Amino acid sequence: MGRLIVVNAMSVDGFYEGPHKDVSAVPMDVAFSEYNLERMQTADAVLLGAKSYAGFLEYWPHKEDDTSALASEREFAKLYKVVEKVVVSNHATPPTGRHPWAGTTRIVKRRDAPDEIVNLKRKIRKDREVVIWGSRRLWSDLIVRDLVDELHLVVGAGIIGAGTRLFEDYTASLRRVEARAFANAQSVLLRYAVINVAK
């Protein structure tokens, strides 16, 4: 059985968005891009909420050919194009026609998401993953249902003081799996296994 991994960037003071839902307010450096690629290389499927899906659909399909982008971003986009993408939404629609993600994206209703995720985890090997980037509302719901196996937090070197907190409305016991400093970057990685969660 595979694992469900949540990957998010956050500020030192625990925000994953700044004021007015500004994601760019969170301090991110090259470490986040490089770690995203590392996780994508172990992913057999990607899980997305509706908002993240809409944003990623605009951003990633053309990044593979963007010569101004980091090499890690271009490789991430290449892998993202072919990986299975499962979008949890009652209103989203899959891309069609010649869109690079057509044929690798499917939509699952919110009420069906828990069963779908269990099935996804069952069909992949234990050394492979289902990964969630962004999609905070979705994975917050999944963590309290005991479906998230690990949290991978890339903590940027900054305090932003306001915005959307990464965690709220539940408590959890965690076990540290890894703490890593990145070369040529100020961010650090904190990896935790989720032991138990209480709403």
What span, in angstroms and rounded, lies between the C-alpha atoms of 101 and 64? 13
Confidence band of 33 (pLDDT split at 50, 70, 90): very high
Say if residue 1's pLDDT is above 90. no
Beta-carbon contacts of residue 179 (< 8 Å; ≥ 6 apart): 188, 189, 190, 191
SS3 assignment, position 165: strand
- Please provide residue 27's backbone torsions phi and psi, each rounded to the nearest 5 degrees: -70, 115
**What are the structural domains of the chain?**
3-198 (3.40.430.10)
Identify which of 164, 157, 166, 46 has the alpha carbon closest to the alpha carbon of residue 108. Answer: 46
- pLDDT tens readout for residues 41-99: 999 999 999 999 999 998 999 899 999 999 999 999 999 999 999 999 999 999 998 89
Instruction: Provide the CB-side half-sphere exposure for 40 (13 A, CA).
Output: 21
> What confidence score (pLDDT) does residue 199 get?
82
- The DSSP letter of residue 110 is G
* Separation in Å, CA 63 to CA 24, 28, 49, 73, 80: 18, 18, 21, 7, 10
Q: What share of the chain is helix, strand, coil (3-state, %, to 5)?
A: 35, 30, 35
Average pLDDT over residues 146-156: 97
What span, in angstroms and rounded, lies between the C-alpha atoms of 43 and 37? 10
> What confidence score (pLDDT) does residue 141 get?
93
Average pLDDT over residues 148-159: 97
SS3 assignment, position 140: helix
Is the distance from CB of 135 to CB of 49 less than 8 angstroms? yes
Say if residue 167's pLDDT is above 90. yes
